[in-house]
Amino acid sequence: MRYDSGLPNPWLHCPGLPAGAAAALAALHFTEPRKDLLARLKDGEREAGLEFCHHAGLALLAPEILPAATARDAANNLRRLETLAATYRRLAEMPVEFAALKGITQCELFGIRPEDRGQADIDLYCPRETISTAWEWLIGAGYQPIAGVEGLPTDHLPALWQPTNWQWRGDFFDPEMPLAVELHFQFWSPELERLPAEGVDEFWKRRQRRRVGGAELGVLSPPDAVGYAALHLLKHLLHGDTKPFHVYEIASCLHRHADDEEFWRQWRGLHSESLRRLESVSFLLAEAWFGCRMPAVVKEEAGRLPAATRAWFEEFPLSPAVQRFHPNKDELWLHVSLLGSAGDRLRVARRRLFPSNLPPPARATSTLSHRRVYAAWFLARLRFHAISLGTTLGSGIRWWRRRRRLKG
């Protein structure tokens, strides 16, 4: 699958991406937005485009795609924001300190209104020495762990939520949908990814206080919040599970702060070389997808990435967006390009090509209806891995050839 990376707006010609999805992404481009494409969609394309936006987290950012439906989503999301604020106020009573990650706690920094983003769960970071106390407090407050995710490799404990008779009805903004809480004990897993991020634990020491939803909460400092968002996106990118909203969120931050030299001076001074290297990958993806302005410091850091990584961005920048429609594992070669030893490359390739477990979707819980959701999703993931296995070798050859041309 070839992409014309020279186009100012790459979604104008992206083979394999349906019209509705392409139009929504093209409309959100920062330097050359094409909202006119939304008006040209046929009814079926609009409905398919809205479905894509729901899964991608972009529905509230592209209200023109199906106005009546997105207006209903927006009204429901306002009600969910009230529940979010009340939940944060309750969590502020926890007897241990924590840092709220992602979600509405960082909206101002990233230049996205809380009204324009959905939030299905609440992520909190607690140091390992206090995370058990936080867990016990949540259990005492009526939360229960979601079954079936205990043994999966991750950076947080099993998600918790309060028992409910709520049933999934296909509404991503259902005001009655319960909020899960995830307690994170690390910001990045070098053991799993085989990629170092020195100094990432310092995020906790630099935390700040901010008023969110009527409560004083611990949050990451602005440079560290950007860093964590980049690492979070990179983790999902390398695992073949990229959510377009996370890419857009970083693009919005870069665009918004492109001329803030002091902010990026602090960012460079606080983050190690290995950490900035990983963040730069996410920044490049944001630029490739949404044409955001890039701060000069970020451009310098991205220019230091290995030639093999730059070759991946020339060949496969839009592959993660197409995965939903045409299974691929092109991100494997991005991961390989960042690794320093043959042993690590072999371990990562084996894990990605022949996964031993499949993390469940957020809506899969221990109730019967959610077990059905999980079963359907599990079969879909098996199909994805089976199909993409056959395309991986071909994409690897293309990446290798592009890499050789860059070296030459």
Q: Measure the CA–CA gap between 346 and 352, rounded to whole angstroms.
A: 10
Q: Do 254 and 264 touch, CB atoms closer than 8 A? A: no
Q: What is the pLDDT of residue 350?
A: 87
Q: Measure the CA–CA gap between 187 and 181, rounded to whole angstroms.
A: 16
pLDDT in tens, 8-53: 899 999 989 999 999 999 999 999 999 999 999 999 999 999 999 9
Q: Measure the CA–CA gap between 348 and 117, rounded to whole angstroms.
A: 33
Q: Measure the CA–CA gap between 215 and 209, rounded to whole angstroms.
A: 10
pLDDT in tens, 75-124: 999 999 999 999 999 999 999 999 999 999 999 999 999 999 999 999 99
Count CB-CB contacts under 10 A for residue 139: 12
Q: How far is CA 162 from CA 140, 181, 380, in A?
A: 11, 9, 28
Which residues in the chain come in under a pLDDT of 50?
A: 1-6, 362-369
- H/E element holding 161? strand 160-161
Question: Is residue 124 classed as helix, strand or coil in its secondary structure?
Answer: strand
Q: What is the pLDDT of residue 363?
A: 47
Q: Measure the CA–CA gap between 101 and 91, rounded to whole angstroms.
A: 13
Question: Is residue 29 classed as helix, strand or coil in its secondary structure?
Answer: coil
- Which pairing describes strands 144-145 and 160-161: parallel, antiparallel, or unpaired? antiparallel
Q: What is the pLDDT of residue 153?
A: 56
Radius of gyration of the chain (CA): 21
11 CB-contact burial (10 Å; exposed 0-12 / middle 13-18 / buried 19+):
buried
Compute, in degrees rounded to 10, the torsion defined by CA atoms 55, 56, 57, 58.
-120
Q: What is the pLDDT of residue 370?
A: 54
Q: Measure the CA–CA gap between 287 and 319, rounded to whole angstroms.
A: 14
Q: What is the pLDDT of residue 399?
A: 84
Helices (H), 179-315: 190-193, 202-205, 222-238, 244-256, 261-270, 273-290, 296-303, 307-315
Q: Measure the CA–CA gap between 287 and 134, rounded to whole angstroms.
A: 38
